[in-house]
Amino acid sequence: MEQISREMLSRPPAENLLVMWLDFEEGVDSYAEEALKEDPKYLSAATVREIIFSNTATISGSFTIEETQFLAEVLNAGALPVQLEEMYSNSVGASLGEQAMQKTVYAGFIGVALIFIYMLIYYRFMGVIAVVTLSTYIYLVLLVFNWMNAVLTLPGIAALILGVGMAVDANIITYERIKEEIRSGKSIMSAFKAGSRRSLSTILDANITTILAAAVLFSYGTSSVQGFAVMLIVSILTSFVTAVYGSRLLLGLWVNSRALNKKPRLFGVKEGEIDEL
């Protein structure tokens, strides 16, 4: 700073200027031309008044508070203690990000559709109940996300699909328990009650462990990971309500109506698999 300030003081007043530029183009930009404009490209044009013997300097003038803060931010942005060297750069256009979002949403629709088809084929009537509750789950998650004024990002969509998997898993555990009870010879009513009761603890444990993992991700992860964790927690809580209580409520209404009595095929169980009718 001492050498630079000595050199600037030796110059005529018109050339005694330290101009700080924003996006300076050599051979194109000129201080004399920019000084005549209302909104010049340079940030500051300081005059050196005395020799500076230290590594720090003060810029004084008639600045507003906003101008002072902006100038300080620009100066601090270039005050890294190391020299930066560009090793690699890549420009991603808005169209590429939009295509990635569209492909992710498309893949999500395909995944959910395949899950619906599998549940309908393998679990018959219980699969219909599962499709209804899963559709309700997706709607409720998106409704909660909209209420939170959150942005649905790629990690968020991934968490939503993962939540669908958790909800399906809860349905499958319950339905398999019910099928086992039917195969043991119990009535549809007794099989429904026993299967629902015995599957609850397993579903609860699986959801609690996943919520704990999501909480750790939210505590120590970056912004994108935190978004994934929040979406995952919302998805798990919603899926627990729809897959456990909603599914059992709808299925219980049909079972209590006795319309499904002596119809094990509607539950995906063949009569030959039942020990005794």
Dump pLDDT digits (tens) for 220-257.
888 778 888 888 888 888 888 888 888 888 888 888 88
Q: Is-above-0.75 flag for pTM?
A: no
Task: Tokens for 229, please give them.
Answer: 């964790």
Residue 103 lies in a domain: yes
What distance in Å separates the CA atoms of residue 212 and residue 204, rounded to the nearest whole number?
A: 12
Tell me, rounded to whole angstroms, the distance of Cα 261 from its chain centroid: 45
Residue 83 lies in a domain: no
- Give residue 145's pLDDT band: very low, low, confident or very high (50, 70, 90): confident
Model confidence pLDDT, tens digit, residues 157-211 = 788 888 888 888 888 888 888 888 888 888 888 888 888 888 888 888 888 998 9
Number of domains into which the chain is organized: 2
Residue 87 lies in a domain: no
Segment (H or E) for 43: strand 42-46
What distance in Å separates the CA atoms of residue 192 and residue 182, rounded to the nearest whole number?
A: 8
What distance in Å separates the CA atoms of residue 146 and residue 232, rounded to the nearest whole number?
A: 15
- Give residue 10's pLDDT band: very low, low, confident or very high (50, 70, 90): confident
15/134 same-domain check: no
What contacts 86, CB < 8 A, 6 or more positions away?
Answer: none
112/218 same-domain check: yes
Model confidence pLDDT, tens digit, residues 54-110 = 777 777 777 778 877 877 777 776 655 556 677 777 665 555 556 777 787 788 888
247/144 same-domain check: yes
Last residue of a domain, one of 14, 49, 77: 77
Given a cut of 80, whether residue 272 has pLDDT beyond it is: no
Phi, psi for 207 (deg, rounded to 5): -70, -40
Last residue of a domain, one of 44, 77, 110: 77
Identity (one letter) of the amino acid at 83? Q
Model confidence pLDDT, tens digit, residues 28-58 = 777 777 777 777 767 677 777 778 777 777 7
Residue 173 lies in a domain: yes
In the three-class reduction of DSSP (H, G, I as helix; E, B as strand; rest coil), residue 239 is classed as helix
Residue 92 lies in a domain: no
What distance in Å separates the CA atoms of residue 5 and residue 3, rounded to the nearest whole number?
A: 6
For the domain that residue 182 is a member of, what is the CATH number? 1.20.1640.10
- Residue 248: domain span: 97-273
140/70 same-domain check: no
14/138 same-domain check: no
58/116 same-domain check: no
192/261 same-domain check: yes
Last residue of a domain, one of 21, 48, 77: 77
71/111 same-domain check: no
Residue 34 lies in a domain: yes
225/115 same-domain check: yes
